[in-house]
Amino acid sequence: MADNNSSPAASVAVLGTGIMGAAMARNLARAGLDVRAWNRTRAKAEPLAADGVRVTDTPAEAVDGADTVLTMLLDGPAVLDAMRQAALRLAPGTLWLQMSTVGPAALEPLVRFAGERDLRIVDAPVLGTKAPAEKGQLIVLAAGPQELRERAGRVLDVVGGRTQWVGEDAASGAASRLKLVVNSWVLTIIGGTGETLALAKGLDVDPRAFLEAVGGGSLDMPYLRMKSELLLTGDLEPSFTVSAARKDARLVNEAGEAAGVRMDLAAATAERLRRAEEQGHGGEDGVAAYFASFVG
């Protein structure tokens, strides 16, 4: 029941079935949970029905009778909007696993909303992308009270391979702050990979010669290989879109500046991603910021 912190998560409403939310909903349904899913663009959620997910027209229908709500939408305003639409059907005591990347500032109104509605919120952004989401191998960075952890674990252990608890209270922003620190690193590599391969092209250097030069050494890394391969094969099917990466670069930038930290790299990456989006690459993988490198 919704008001029992130690009960199993029998029914989960997933709000947002983009790249990440769809994979999570599918894994939860395959693990035997009763899963309902809502997505603004319903067509994207519909394939989940084949795995037993009940696709709904509204967030309110999705949360009706669910003991857990999992939000996996683009940003804080989208999450708040969906939860407001669901408000009348959200039972007091419902566990709310807020797993989108929203940043600490946009988390505040979400925590307030949870307080007003007597929802049990756990801030639980994730590390990992499409493939780990499909395998249920995300790393969950979570902040929430001890007494909710077992209950939350029934969902988090399905969508993730590991949960790193970093705080007792979602309102502390500890999980969302850690997520931005991690994403500062992710964005630095995405931006660096695109710009470095663009320089190779500009200087008439075979990009594979660059990869061979760093291969196996301390400058090499699987993420560089993975992202470079996308560019070299032209397969820009997104794991993490340019638009979502741009949103995160903005969040990293804003949070750093609010803390008195100069975010030169994040600002430059945000600008590259903005140009890439403007050039029509918003729905492609973030490494497509490469295309924003060239003058003219």
Residue nearest to ligand NAP according to CB distances in the complex = 18
Contact present, 14 and 35 (Cβ < 8 Å): yes
11 is a site residue for ligand NAP (CB under 6 A): no
> Residue 273 CB, nearest distance to ligand NAP (Å)?
13
Q: Which residues contact 271 (CB under 8 A, 6 or more apart)?
A: none
Smaller CB distance to ligand NAP: residue 162 or 208? Answer: 162
Q: What is the DSSP letter of 2?
A: T
H/E run at residue 95: strand 95-98
Q: Report d(CA 202, CA 231) in Å as an integer.
A: 15
Tell whether the torsion through CA atoms of 208, 214, 217 and 222 is positive or negative.
negative
193 is a site residue for ligand NAP (CB under 6 A): no
39 is a site residue for ligand NAP (CB under 6 A): yes
Q: Which of 10, 31, 60, 78 is the binder for ligand NAP (CB under 6 A)?
A: 78
Q: Which of 56, 176, 193, 239 is the binder for ligand NAP (CB under 6 A)?
A: 239
Smaller CB distance to ligand NAP: residue 31 or 78? Answer: 78
73 is a site residue for ligand NAP (CB under 6 A): yes
244 is a site residue for ligand NAP (CB under 6 A): yes
Q: Helix, strand, or coil here: 5? A: coil
User: Considering only 60-68, 107-115, 153-161, 234-242, which stretch makes contact with ligand NAP by CB under 6 A?
Assistant: 234-242
Find the binding residues for ligand NAP in span 90-149 (CB under 6 A).
100-101, 126, 129-130
Q: Report d(CA 241, CA 247) in Å as an integer.
A: 10
User: Considering only 10-18, 114-122, 150-158, 187-195, which stretch makes contact with ligand NAP by CB under 6 A?
Assistant: 10-18
18 is a site residue for ligand NAP (CB under 6 A): yes
Q: Report d(CA 179, CA 140) in Å as an integer.
A: 9
Would you report the helix, strand and coil content of the chain in percent, each value rounded to 5? Answer: 60, 15, 30
Smaller CB distance to ligand NAP: residue 2 or 180? Answer: 180
Residue 93 tokens, joined: 């005591």
